[in-house]
Amino acid sequence: MNQVMPDEDLMYQALANKDASFEGIFYVGVKTTGIFCRPACTAKTPQKQNVEFFPTAREAVLNGYRPCKLCNPLGYKGDMPDWLQPLLKELQDNPDTKVKDRDLKRRGIDPNRVRRWFKKNHNMTFQTYLRTLRISNAFGRIKHGDKVIDAAFESGYDSLSGFTDAFKKSTGFSPNKSKHQQLIKVTRILTPLGPMLAGATDQGICLLEFIDRRMIETQIQRLKKLLKAELIPGSNKHFDELHKQLNEYFRGERKEFTVPLVLMGTDFQKRAWRALLEIPYGATRSYKEQAESIAHPTAVRAVARANGDNRISIIIPCHRVIGSNGELVGYGGSLWRKCYLLNLEKKMTITYSEKK
């Protein structure tokens, strides 16, 4: 499959700006050194005439380039390092575990290294992550029948007041309201198109957006209002399946997603999104055709707005809707991602013009 990349001027600008949003979209080979790098490599930017671009790390290797030791282009940026995996697995199995610096040292892990990794990859401290896990676990216990005081002490808190304050700070509501509230667990998922923010309730996936999307904060606020819920980092039973199915999709091994979805919007929006789900893998529709499919042939602009409000990218495939003239238009995740997804599904070359 010939993967289409953005034009070379755009890629070189991304390289010069160390733009991490192009992670996985291209790799750059430096002719003068014989190495290849990620777009956001911290090495000095080479002159444009001394670089060439590749859609995959494999192609860079096949063209004789060696991987850069600074940015490690043979792995996902931000992927969990081997030294951290046992600790996070332990915390996932026992979310109430308290881990101090001395406990990390006893495990042979440098506390400063852990702090730097969490700050860089999750924009939070390690201790904030631990507190979030404990609060999330306590919420689940209370919601399913445990007394607040039992959940507090089983979560490792020494006082009920301390637990209540921490709970309200994390969730926005007091523990005794848990049975009537909902939390949206969120996590970051790495993809060939860059990191995505996934959100889920007990019922299913309600959020899947590229982290660098301009409207992501607005979408999050709308979702919180619609579900009357707060977002909190944590694990959810649907995340493992979501991650598995996304990996299969990007490898070209999956055409349909089966992970359960939570669609929150107006009746019109839901009809528009369900129409998107009916577009076959590898096919495209115009906005007019989508409007006709929901029996609103004149509501083309309303359909376009509904597509823009889709908060579950890729799975609800708004990337399969194109202009009536065949042009790629209207994708919140950026047109080069839309181009990539359509090429992945069609296994053919689609080009687009980047607006300057």
Q: Along the 356 residues of the chain, how does pLDDT read in single tens digits?
A: 445 678 899 999 999 999 877 877 889 999 999 899 999 899 999 999 999 999 877 778 767 788 888 888 866 655 667 788 888 888 877 777 888 999 999 999 999 999 888 887 676 788 888 887 788 778 878 877 888 888 888 877 878 888 888 888 877 788 887 777 788 988 888 887 878 899 999 999 999 998 888 888 889 899 989 998 888 887 788 999 999 999 999 888 899 999 999 999 999 999 999 999 999 999 999 999 999 999 999 999 999 999 999 999 999 999 999 988 888 887 888 887 888 898 888 865 555 555 43
Q: What length does the chain have?
A: 356
Residues 53 and 84 in one domain: no
Q: What pLDDT was estimated at residue 193?
A: 81
Residues 46 and 121 in one domain: no
Annotated active-site residue 41? The verdict is no
Half-sphere exposure of residue 305: CA atoms within 13 angstroms, side-chain side: 8
CATH code for the domain of 44: 3.40.10.10
Answer whether residue 124 is part of any domain.
yes
Q: What pLDDT was estimated at residue 258?
A: 97
Amino acid at 130: L
pTM of the model: 0.70
Q: What pLDDT was estimated at residue 1?
A: 42
Residues 84 and 129 in one domain: yes
> What is the C-alpha to C-alpha distance for residues 328 and 321, in angstroms, rounded to an integer?
8
Last residue of a domain, one of 111, 129, 157: 157
At 28 the three-state DSSP class reads: strand
Task: State which residues form the domain around 124.
Answer: 78-157
Number of domains in the chain: 3
The active-site residue, picked from 41, 71, 318, 339, is 318
Answer whether residue 57 is part of any domain.
yes
Answer whether residue 258 is part of any domain.
no
Last residue of a domain, one of 157, 178, 201: 157
CATH code for the domain of 293: 1.10.10.10
Q: What pLDDT was estimated at residue 194?
A: 77
Answer whether residue 72 is part of any domain.
no
Please give the C-alpha separations between residue 152 and each of 77, 100, 139, 174, in angstroms, as whole numbers: 37, 19, 10, 12
Answer whether residue 177 is part of any domain.
no
Answer whether residue 335 is part of any domain.
yes
**What's the gap between Cα 301 and its chain centre?**
28
Locate all alpha helices (DSSP H) within the chain, ordered by sequence: 8-16, 57-62, 85-93, 101-106, 111-122, 126-143, 148-154, 160-171, 216-227, 239-250, 267-277, 287-293, 300-308, 335-346
Cβ-Cβ contacts under 8 Å for 327 (sequence gap 6 or more): 352
Last residue of a domain, one of 67, 89, 111: 67
**Cα dihedral 143, 145, 148, 153 in deg (nearest 10):** -110
